[in-house]
């Protein structure tokens, strides 16, 4: 008898003979598989395996594979089998009717347990499955009878397997996160692209009407506010969560704002999203966070994942939450033992789709049955969160037994051919306001030898009997939208992340250029005094960029420490490595603002450069990897420039880039001009090289290098995209756009900085001793660098300040009973 915590989805070790989805008992291919099988058989040998590789690549490019494995655990190895699971029309109808009945039943159970609790009073359900369950949220209980109470369930997902009896059995009811629906939709898109001949040949039901109905339902339920449709927000635990990609996709497909708890605030009995324009009311929250964490004031969760006052907004009737925070109560595995009786009592119908046999061990008869054939059952906690310490012997009421059952098998690509592998199925349902409708598809997962799901999944095809017309929802009638061009609705957190993405990509570029220039000089043999002086000037810049420490700067020709430091910067834990990680994190965090192509352009080359940096074991390889980073930064800029609508998201990405480059150029010039006036020429040459302005200078002035024209090109010429003036005037224009006629102090600040830079160049032009004058600018440029940094901070304060983190008060204070 094995004792295990419930693994998702719940499949115990296989027992009995598994039926085959494709082949019947007499070895004949079932009719609904023949089309697919025919299409596969008509492919040339090895073709299917090649398609599988294409699917793997597509997943990788889409980033489902994850750039930072640690940040998105479990997501990395996700793969799609090119062979789908096929369900025939009749089989699907039976399944969807059974699941709809089950969803109706669970709704009734929840309404009773959060209401009059007659099921407990009448002994139809033992109190052990309710009161000790941490998902039973007492503040949601309202025993008063009354119509018009909100529904508990709007969505429902179930895990199923087909047992040796040939019937489907539910192994888990999922009422909180319902993960996988976005994955099912993505899988279908990949299948259609990669195996067009198979998808075209099959008369399968499309998935998008389900999605359309869902989107309509959400926006219909949210209703319209005075200034257009009310906001629907999808609440996600955040970028580190394993289902982040799912949440991004869903938010986009359902036209929801993707929000973390910190983006939301409840005030005066209503919920709001913090955007650049201020607080926007949220009328409907599609929650992907566990109910018990949603309101730290009333439910005692951690404040980071919930919004204090959320339950109050629900009670006030201004906010609907899908599913209701208390819905998780009905996920309890032990509840499945009682569903047949509850179905008779509450619906007056027999339960048509059975659960995998579940016995609650609080019942002595059940204990005796399990004791008689202990190997046929696996033991699970009856509710979640039961202390593992109290075993079934000590506290049988906290445990249930589920019958071990091997799932049916379906063909799966194995090497070059097909092999039967066990599959488990997840299906998704939506309440459309009148009844439950089932996604005609789903997510099938291939299980391993022990019946546990592997990361390999399958698309699920539901064949249509005839070409029945596909019934979609009626068009949603909303008032005509006012034309909007500004993007004030951008959530503050998104603007913040884009701004820092811009800054970090630029910082990566600047760091790579500095390192590359240094490496090139260290490579020269023999190194002339002139080279050594340049290396020493570069080292100051490297130290300013925190790529090396002061001790690693070369002293009297000894540069071994510097060489080691440069290699180390790209290694695990090095500054450049950490920068790439930070960029990757921000790309993930802003993923809902990037198209698939953009996301690929932002991630794939970065992943390659990161790997090249780690592998670089000689200066040439390091130089090549740095070149990759420089090209990556240009690629990001180009893709953003060509694909992002101006204003809003693009403004902040660009603003970050401009300010960071403003900081780095003024730092660079400040350090280079600190060289003694006698060496001003080499300092200027270096400045032109690092500002990518050598060719322009040569075109304009041939080979005569003088301080005034050189500084004009890198500091005051507004046409040089690598020069200081360009950054500051671009920042001024962007800030003017973002300010939209409001308080213009920030754009004016950028303008003043540009004027300062112009004035500095003018002084050098007028000076009798330009070299001396240029040298004198060093300190002022370093001060200018700090002022650009201050401007960045001011932007953060004005636009990104999130709602202050709420603090819990009272539990630890003198309010405690002192008597």
Partner 1 sequence: MIYKVRHVTAYNYESPVEMATHLLHLLPRPLEGRQRVLRAGLSCDPAPARRAEAPDHFGNATAWLYLDRPHARFTVTAEFVVEVTPPPPLPAATPAWDGLREAALRRPDVAEFLFPSPALPPVEGARAFFAPHFTPGRPAGEAVMEMIAAFRGSMAFRSGVTTVSTPVEEVLRRKAGVCQDFAHLMITGLRMLGIPARYVSGYIRTRPPPGGVRRVGADQSHAWVAAWLGEGIGWVEMDPTNSLFVAEEHVVLGWGRDFGDVSPLLGIILGGGQHSVSVGVDMDEAEPVSG
* Residue 380: strand, helix, or coil: strand
**Options 82, 132, 238, 656; binder of partner 1; rule CB under 8 A:** 132
Is residue 651 within 8 A of residue 734, CB to CB? The reply is: yes
Q: Of the candidates 49, 94, 120, 527, which one interacts with partner 1 according to CB under 8 A?
A: 120
Candidate segments 129-137, 214-222, 511-519, 711-719, binder of partner 1 by CB under 8 A: 129-137
Q: Nearest 5°: CA angle at 574, between 571 and 577?
A: 70
Instruction: Quote the CA–CA distance of 509 and 396 in Å, as a whole number.
Output: 62
Q: Where in 784-813 is the site for partner 1 (CB under 8 A)?
A: 803-804, 806-813
Figure out which of the listed residues 28, 57, 138, 524 binds partner 1, where binding follows CB under 8 A: 138
| C-beta closer to partner 1: residue 39 or 803 | 803
Cβ within 8 Å of residue 819, ≥6 positions away: none
Identify which range of 43-51, 306-314, 671-679, 770-778 contacts partner 1 by CB under 8 A. 306-314
Beta bridge partners of 259: 235
304 is a site residue for partner 1 (CB under 8 A): no
Is residue 45 at the binding interface for partner 1, with CB under 8 A as the rule?
no
Residue from the set 126, 238, 281, 574 that interacts with partner 1 by CB under 8 A: 126
User: Measured from the CB of residue 359, what is the shortest distance to partner 1 in angstroms?
Assistant: 18
Six-digit token string for 519: 């490496």
| CA 642/CA 636 separation, integer angstroms | 10
If the CB atoms of residues 480 and 819 are measured against partner 1, the closer one turns out to be 819
Nearer to partner 1, 703 or 807 (CB): 807
Q: Give min distance, CB of 801 to partner 1, in A.
A: 12
What's the token pair of residue 385? 């969160």
> Closest approach of Cβ 331 to partner 1, in Å?
18
Residue 156's SS3 state is strand
DSSP code for 675 = S
- Of 51-59, 293-301, 594-602, 695-703, the window that binds partner 1 (rule: CB under 8 A) is 293-301
| Binding residue for partner 1, selected from 9, 291, 296, 325, defined by CB under 8 A | 296
Encoded tokens for 808: 């819990």
Write down the least CB distance from residue 467 to partner 1, Å. Answer: 53
Residue 196 or residue 317: which is nearer to partner 1 going by CB?
Answer: 317
The residue among 455, 503, 505, 512 whose CA lies nearest residue 692 is: 512
Segment contacting partner 1 by CB under 8 A, of 266-274, 413-421, 494-502, 603-611: 266-274
- Cβ contact 282:272 at 8 Å: yes
State in angstroms the smallest separation of the CB of 293 from partner 1: 14
- The least CB distance from residue 270 to partner 1, in Å, is 11
Which residues neighbour 689 within 8 Å (Cβ) at sequence distance 6 or greater?
517
Local structure of 282: helix, strand or coil: strand
Alpha-carbon distance 230 to 337, whole Å?
42
Using CB under 8 A, pick the residue from 139, 229, 718, 789 that binds partner 1. Answer: 139
272 vs 697, beta carbon nearer partner 1: 272
Q: Please select the residue that binds partner 1; options are 308, 328, 392, 581, rule is CB under 8 A.
A: 308
Question: What is the DSSP pairing of strand 257-259 with strand 231-235?
Answer: parallel
Q: Please choose, out of 100-108, 125-133, 436-444, 604-612, the segment that lies near partner 1 by the rule CB under 8 A.
A: 125-133
- Tell me the closest approach of the beta carbon of residue 816 to partner 1, in angstroms: 5
Does 387 bind partner 1 (CB under 8 A)? Our answer is: yes
**Any idea of the CA torsion for 135, 140, 144, 149, to the nearest 10 degrees?**
-100
Q: Per rule CB under 8 A, is residue 391 in the interface with partner 1?
A: no
Site for partner 1 (CB under 8 A): how many residues? 45
Q: Which of residues 605-644 bind partner 1 (CB under 8 A)?
A: none
Binding to partner 1 (CB under 8 A) within 141-170 occurs at 141
* CA–CA dist 753, 725 (Å, integer): 9
Residue 123: name the closest of 341, 354, 397 by CA: 341
**Angle (CA) 222 227 230, round 5°:** 15
Nearest CA to 162 out of 94, 97, 100 is that of: 94
Residues between 309 and 328 that touch partner 1 (CB under 8 A):
309, 312, 315-316
Q: Which two tokens stand for residue 682?
A: 């080499």
Q: Distance of CA 367 to CAs 232, 364, 392, 402, 405, Å?
A: 48, 5, 10, 12, 19
The one-character DSSP state at 285 is: E
Binding site for partner 1 (CB under 8 A): 117, 120-121, 123, 126-128, 130-132, 138-139, 141, 266-269, 296-298, 300, 303, 308-309, 312, 315-316, 387, 390, 803-804, 806-819
């Amino acid at each position: 008898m094995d004792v295990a915590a419930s693994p998702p989805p719940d499949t115990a070790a296989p027992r009995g003979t598994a039926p085959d989805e494709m082949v019947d008992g007499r070895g004949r291919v079932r009719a609904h598989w023949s089309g697919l099988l025919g299409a596969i058989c008509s492919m040339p040998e090895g073709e299917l395996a090649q398609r599988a590789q294409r699917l793997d690549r597509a997943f990788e490019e889409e980033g489902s594979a994850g750039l930072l494995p640690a940040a998105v655990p479990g997501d990395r190895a996700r793969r799609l089998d090119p062979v789908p699971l096929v369900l025939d029309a009749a089989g699907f109808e039976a399944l969807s009717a059974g699941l709809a009945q089950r969803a109706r039943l669970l709704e009734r159970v929840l309404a009773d347990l959060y209401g009059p609790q007659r099921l407990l009073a009448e002994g139809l359900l033992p109190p052990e499955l309710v009161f000790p369950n941490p998902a039973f949220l007492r503040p949601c209980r309202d025993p008063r009878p009354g119509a018009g109470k909100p529904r508990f369930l709007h969505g429902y997902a179930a895990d199923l397997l087909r047992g040796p009896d040939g019937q489907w059995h539910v192994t888990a009811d999922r009422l909180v996160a319902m993960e996988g629906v976005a994955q099912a939709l993505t899988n279908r898109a990949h299948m259609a692209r990669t195996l067009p001949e198979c998808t075209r040949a099959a008369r399968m039901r499309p998935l998008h009407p389900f999605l359309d109905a869902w989107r309509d339902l959400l926006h219909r339920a949210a209703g319209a506010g005075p200034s257009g449709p009310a906001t629907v927000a999808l609440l996600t635990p955040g970028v580190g969560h394993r289902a982040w990609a799912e949440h991004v996709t869903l938010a986009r497909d359902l036209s929801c704002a993707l929000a973390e708890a910190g983006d939301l605030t409840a005030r005066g009995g209503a919920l709001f999203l913090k955007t650049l324009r201020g607080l926007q009311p949220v009328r409907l929250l599609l929650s992907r966070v566990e109910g018990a964490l949603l309101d730290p004031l009333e439910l005692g969760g951690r404040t980071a994942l919930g919004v204090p006052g959320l339950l109050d907004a629900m009670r006030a009737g201004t906010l609907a939450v899908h599913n209701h925070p208390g819905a998780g109560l009905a996920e309890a595995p032990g509840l499945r033992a009682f569903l047949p009786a509850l179905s008779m009592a509450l619906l007056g119908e027999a339960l048509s789709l059975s659960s995998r046999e579940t016995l609650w061990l609080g019942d002595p008869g059940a204990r005796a049955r399990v004791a008689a054939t202990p190997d046929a059952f696996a033991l699970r906690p009856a509710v979640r969160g039961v202390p593992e310490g109290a075993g079934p012997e000590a506290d049988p009421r906290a445990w249930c037994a589920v019958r071990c059952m091997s799932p049916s098998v379906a063909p799966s690509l194995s090497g070059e051919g097909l092999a039967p592998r066990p599959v488990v199925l997840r299906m998704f349902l939506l309440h459309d306001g009148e009844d439950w409708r089932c996604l005609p598809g789903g997510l099938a997962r291939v299980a391993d030898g022990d019946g546990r799901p592997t990361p390999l999944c399958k698309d699920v095809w539901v064949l249509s009997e005839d070409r029945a017309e596909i019934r979609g929802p009626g068009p949603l009638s909303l008032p005509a939208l006012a034309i909007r061009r500004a993007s004030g609705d951008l959530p503050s957190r998104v603007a913040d992340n884009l701004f820092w993405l811009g800054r970090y990509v630029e910082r990566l570029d600047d760091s790579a250029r500095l390192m590359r220039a240094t490496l090139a000089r260290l490579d020269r043999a023999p190194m002339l005094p002139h080279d050594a002086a340049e290396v020493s000037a570069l080292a100051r810049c490297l130290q300013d960029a925190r790529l090396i420490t002061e001790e690693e700067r070369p002293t009297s020709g000894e540069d071994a420490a510097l060489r080691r430091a440069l290699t180390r910067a790209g290694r695990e834990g090095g500054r450049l490595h950490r920068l790439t990680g930070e960029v990757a994190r921000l790309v993930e965090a802003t993923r809902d603002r990037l198209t698939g192509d953009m996301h690929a352009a932002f991630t794939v080359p970065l992943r390659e450069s990161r790997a090249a940096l780690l592998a670089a074991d000689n200066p040439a390889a390091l130089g090549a990897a740095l070149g990759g980073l420089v090209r990556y930064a240009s690629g990001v800029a180009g893709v953003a420039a060509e694909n992002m609508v101006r204003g809003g998201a693009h403004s902040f990405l660009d603003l970050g880039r401009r300010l960071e480059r403003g900081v780095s150029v003024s730092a660079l010039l400040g350090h280079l001009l600190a060289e003694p006036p006698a060496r001003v020429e080499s300092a200027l040459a270096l400045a032109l090289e690092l500002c990518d302005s050598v060719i322009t200078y040569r075109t304009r002035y041939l080979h005569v290098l003088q301080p005034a024209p050189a500084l004009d090109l890198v500091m005051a010429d507004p046409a040089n995209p690598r020069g200081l003036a360009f950054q500051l005037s671009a920042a001024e224009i962007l800030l003017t756009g973002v300010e939209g006629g409001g308080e213009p102090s920030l754009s004016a600040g950028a303008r003043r900085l540009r004027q300062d830079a112009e004035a500095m160049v003018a002084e050098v032009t007028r000076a009798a001793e330009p070299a001396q004058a240029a040298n004198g600018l060093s300190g002022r440029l370093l001060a200018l660098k700090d002022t650009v940094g201050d401007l960045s901070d001011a932007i953060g304060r004005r636009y990104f300040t999130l709602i202050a983190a709420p603090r819990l008060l009272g539990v630890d204070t003198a309010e405690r009973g002192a008597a």
